[in-house]
């Protein structure tokens, strides 16, 4: 028999997390550390990287941080190719600029495509190659997608284009990396309450729109997503690859 849920732990595993200073990335970093995994945090805000480090070191796991923009391919490549330990990637860094399709600015299009697709692809490729180079017997890559990788939402044409793309990338990577026993999956949350989205949720109309669209009538929290990420990172999901865990309270079921 294999490993059961009660046995989930990531002891001795090392996870690289992009966009680790805030929101989902920070939640994933903390959850992975709670499960005993070592954390390599990539982010752009040094003081937040430091404060995350303080919290994670209390859990008696190793913490490394790297201050870098995910768009800076050369800088991130030289970092990842020197890593001595790597088992898990949480490919989290992402962005959105809500605009009506007819008025999407060229700069918004470039920004969203660069972060949500090009950087996601590049970092996944670098990490997969590094996991193979380190001769790991297994690996797990988790791409942070969205319900907007499965259905559309208003003022989210570019975002949906990138997240549908991430869904395709996830399945394609799963096939190409299966022979190395590197699993690749995505998580598709509903609109999560994070420091960035809090200002939207403070708007009563928006809050009502999200709750009305969610049959279970609750807002997805960072911990809801972080637990799924930890599950996919662990050996408890060793036969799960090329698929998505949808964390949406029923949004896409209706």
Partner 1 sequence: MVKAKNRKKIGGSIIHMSSQLGKVGCGGRNVYNMNKFGIEGLARGMAVELAEYNIRVNTVCPTFVETPMVKKFFKNKKFKNQMLKNIPLGRVAKESDVATAVAFLAADSSEMITGTSLVVDGGWTAQ
Three-state DSSP class for 119?
helix
Q: How far is the CB of 217 from partner 1 (least distance, A)?
A: 7
Residue 163 annotated to the active site: yes
- Residues 65, 49: contact at Cβ < 8 Å? yes
From candidates 102, 124, 171, 200, binder to partner 1 by CB under 8 A: 171
Q: Which is nearer to partner 1, 14 or 227 (CB)?
A: 227
- Residues 214, 201: contact at Cβ < 8 Å? no
From candidates 83, 115, 228, 233, binder to partner 1 by CB under 8 A: 228
Which is the catalytic residue, given 63, 136, 163, 206?
163
DSSP string, 220-249: BPHHHHHHHHHHHHSGGGTT--S-EEEEST
CA 133 to each of CA 13, 15, 125, 159: distance values in angstroms, whole numbers, following the listed order: 16, 16, 12, 33
Residue 100, phi then psi, degrees to nearest 5: -65, 145
From candidates 80, 124, 224, 233, binder to partner 1 by CB under 8 A: 224
Interface with partner 1, residue 4, by CB under 8 A? yes
End-to-end Cα distance, the chain: 37
From candidates 12, 178, 203, 208, binder to partner 1 by CB under 8 A: 178
Q: What span, in angstroms and rounded, lies between the C-alpha atoms of 2 and 231?
A: 14
From candidates 71, 108, 117, 221, binder to partner 1 by CB under 8 A: 221
Q: Which is nearer to partner 1, 157 or 190 (CB)?
A: 190
Active site residues per annotation: 159, 163
Residues of this chain that interact with partner 1 (CB under 8 A) are 1-6, 8, 27, 30-31, 34-35, 170-172, 174-175, 178-179, 181, 183, 189-190, 215-218, 220-221, 223-224, 226-228, 230-231, 236-243, 245-250, 252-254
């Amino acid at each position: 028999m294999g490993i059961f849920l009660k046995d989930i732990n990531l002891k001795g595993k090392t996870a690289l997390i992009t966009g680790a200073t805030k929101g989902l990335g920070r939640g994933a970093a903390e959850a992975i550390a709670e499960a005993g995994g070592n954390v390599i945090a990539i982010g752009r805000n040094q003081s937040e990287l430091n404060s995350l480090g303080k919290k994670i070191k209390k859990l008696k796991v190793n913490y490394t941080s790297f201050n870098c923009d995910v768009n800076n391919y050369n800088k991130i490549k030289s970092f990842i190719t020197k890593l001595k330990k790597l088992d898990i990637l949480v490919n989290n860094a992402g962005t959105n600029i809500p605009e009506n399709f007819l008025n999407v600015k060229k700069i918004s299009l470039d920004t969203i495509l660069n972060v949500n697709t090009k950087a996601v692809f590049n970092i996944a490729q670098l990490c997969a190659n590094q996991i193979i180079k380190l001769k790991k017997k297994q690996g797990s890559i988790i791409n942070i997608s969205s319900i907007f990788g499965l259905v559309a939402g208003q003022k989210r044409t570019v975002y949906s284009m990138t997240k549908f793309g991430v869904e395709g990338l996830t399945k394609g990577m799963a096939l190409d990396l299966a022979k190395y026993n590197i699993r690749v999956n995505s998580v598709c949350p509903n609109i999560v309450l994070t420091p960035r989205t809090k200002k939207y949720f403070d708007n009563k109309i928006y809050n009502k729109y999200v709750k009305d669209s969610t049959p279970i009538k609750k807002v997805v929290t960072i911990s809801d997503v972080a637990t799924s990420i930890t599950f996919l990172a662990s050996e408890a999901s060793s036969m799960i690859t090329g698929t998505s865990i949808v964390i949406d309270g029923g949004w896409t079921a209706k």
